[in-house]
Amino acid sequence: MQDDGRPDDQALRRLGREVLDIEADAVLALRERIGDAFLEACRHCLACPGRVVVTGMGKSGHIAGKIAATLASTGTPAFFVHPGEASHGDLGMITATDVVLAISNSGETPEILTILPLIKRLGVPLIAMTGQPDSTLAGAADAHLDVGVAKEACPLNLAPTASTTATLAMGDALAVALLHSRGFTREDFAFSHPGGQLGRRLLLHVRDIMRTGDRVPRVTPGLMVSEGLFEVSRKGLGMTAVVSEEDRVLGIYTDGDLRRTLDTQRELTTTPIEAVMTRNVKTVRGDMLAAEAVRLMETFAITALLVVDDDDRLVGAFNVHDLLQSGVM
């Protein structure tokens, strides 16, 4: 302690580490409890034609809300119901096709016990997570998951700390086991998270981000390099496609091609662009995932790509800035 009675830096570090040790031990202790009750809980959720209704009071309620969100985003439809509100009308949100997951460290939370007879009357499976296997809630459950801890990380052994961490971890274990059993994929996850980066990477296609129409730089092969540079400048992609009369891609002229042209001391106003363009063009289709296009650009160290249809006709173009703006990179 410091002279003014406040803990010093070393004491703060020690306290922080003690909390993490206690909570880590609480989570590790759950490993031995993944047994028949856990399997039964999984079976009830997998057989459920409705939703998993998660409920809890106080700190357990916050954990219940997170578990419901994790279940919902990993292929198990779920939502949170406040037990206090449930006895004042919200119990109507629970149907006979649902499963109820009730969370209470003591297993004696009054708000949950009040609605317990009504849950049983509905005949829905009841999964309980408690720290007391001999509690009222545990005894009424069709599957009881023991999330009890040796002690809380709170030095007074009062504030829910290790117990809420253990409950959260058990909820994650349940959600991931269900995810795997359902064959939930990265694409499924992306559809649940369209606003996140993973969603954008797995859902966005090249056609969603490419520039089209007059925004696509294109010139004919007989045009002089100097005129082609105007097209490069106007369209702002750092390159231009060189196309035939049928709009089929013949080549591309980039900033790198310009440097090579200048190195050979060619006259820009009299050199046809087809004489100095890159002929082996990397092109993509509009239905390619934007994330795959990113890998292609990284592999070949290129900053822009042309998009063609099945007949190799130019239909679009994009560069790294378009990928950055779309959130794919």
Residue-range domain boundaries for the chain? 10-184, 206-326
Altogether, the residues listed in the chain come to a count of 329
- Provide the mean pLDDT of the chain: 89
Q: Return the CATH fold of 10-184.
A: Rossmann fold (3.40.50)
The set of residues, in sequence order, having a beta carbon less than 8 Å from that of 97 and lying 6+ positions away, is: 48, 49, 50, 124
Residue 68 and residue 93: Cα distance in Å, rounded? 15
Helix (H) / strand (E) containing 174:
helix 162-182
What is the model's pLDDT at position 7?
72
pLDDT over 90, % of the chain: 66
pLDDT of residue 94 exceeding 80: yes
Contact 239, 217 (CB under 8 A): yes
Averaged pLDDT for residues 261-287: 92
Q: In this structure, what token pair is assigned to residue 184?
A: 């939930």
CA atoms within 13 A on the CB side of 93: 19
What is the model's pLDDT at position 204?
80
User: pLDDT band at 5, cuts 50/70/90?
Assistant: low
Residue carrying the six token digits 């309620």: 61
Q: Determine the 3-state secondary structure of 317 from DSSP.
A: strand
Three-state SS letters, 190-250: HHHCCCCHHHHHHHCEHHHHCECHHHCCEECCCCEHHHHHHHHHHHCCCEEEEECCCCEEE
User: pLDDT band at 53, cuts 50/70/90?
Assistant: very high
Given CATH 3.40.600.10, say whether it is the number of domain 206-326: no
The set of residues, in sequence order, having a beta carbon less than 8 Å from that of 89 and lying 6+ positions away, is: none
232-250 confidence digits (pLDDT tens): 999 999 999 999 999 999 9
Contact 271, 261 (CB under 8 A): yes
Q: What pTM was estimated for this model as a whole?
A: 0.64
> What is the pairing mode between strands 126-130 and 143-146?
parallel
> What is the pairing mode between strands 52-56 and 78-80?
parallel
User: pLDDT band at 155, cuts 50/70/90?
Assistant: confident
User: pLDDT band at 160, cuts 50/70/90?
Assistant: confident
What is the model's pLDDT at position 9?
86
Buried b (16+ CB within 10 A) or exposed e, 85-119: ebeeebbeebeeebbbbbbbbebebebbbebbeeb
Of the two residues 281 and 194, the one the predictor is more confident about is 281
Q: In this structure, what token pair is assigned to residue 306?
A: 């042309």
Residue closest to 279 by CA, chosen among 313, 251, 300: 251
Q: In this structure, what token pair is assigned to residue 49?
A: 């034609």
Residue 122 and residue 124: Cα distance in Å, rounded? 6
Cα→Cα distances 218→70, 258, 267, Å: 48, 16, 21
38-48 confidence digits (pLDDT tens): 999 999 999 99
Averaged pLDDT for residues 257-286: 92
